[in-house]
Amino acid sequence: MRRFSVMYGSSPAHLLLGLATLVVSAWAVVEAFSRDSPLSLTKWFVGSILAHDLVLLPLYSLLLIGLLRVVGGRGVRERSSPSRRRLLVLNHLRVPAALSLLMLLVFFPFILGLAGGYQGVSGLSTDPFLPRWLLLSAGLFLLSGLVLAVRLARGRTPAAAAERSDSPAG
């Protein structure tokens, strides 16, 4: 087993998980092509790649640069890296923001009230989607803030963990 791990570069479980992922992905592609024409799926796929790379990536990169300038403090403006504590705070802002934006991206027609046929098909209104998305987003930021507060109160920052592991007792 050890010889295989050395030759492969990881454990056999890693290889099995990678192969399982490949099988599931291949099955999804076959199913998608059997339900719709390959040309329309290809157009959708290429369109989503272009939309991400040409629109979304520059937007959230600029947002991250702005957050680094706000949270990173004086160190970022002087071209040095921010402290580990500031990076911890930044990550506790990024994760709920990313999850909230993902939910907005997935459900934007419902959240913005643009899904006109939804009520006719389901008999339900799209009115609750915006307040629920706002509540979910607020909950994500609140939970992230609570986890951050606990980590800071317990001294569980990456720097503190590194110092503990370097000490003779750790």
For residues 71 and 48, state if they share a domain: no
CA triplet 107, 113, 115: central angle to 5 degrees? Answer: 70
pTM: 0.60
DSSP 85-125: HHHHHHHHHHHHHHHHHHHHHHHHHHHTT--HHHHHHHS--
Number of domains in the chain: 2
For residues 71 and 103, state if they share a domain: yes
For residues 150 and 109, state if they share a domain: yes
Residue 75 confidence (pLDDT):
57
For residues 116 and 158, state if they share a domain: yes
For residues 123 and 75, state if they share a domain: yes
In what helix (H) or strand (E) does residue 80 lie, and over which residues does it extend? none
Are 147 and 140 in contact by the 8 Å Cβ rule? The answer is: no
For residues 150 and 85, state if they share a domain: yes
pLDDT digits (tens, 9 = 90+) for 83-102: 788 888 888 988 999 899 99
Find the domain containing 27 and state its range: 1-52
The tokens for 5 are 């791990």
Residue segments in the chain with a per-residue pLDDT below the cut of 70: 72-80, 156-170
Half-sphere exposure (CA, 13 Å, Cβ side) for 153?
A: 6
Strand, helix or coil for residue 30? helix
For residues 160 and 111, state if they share a domain: yes
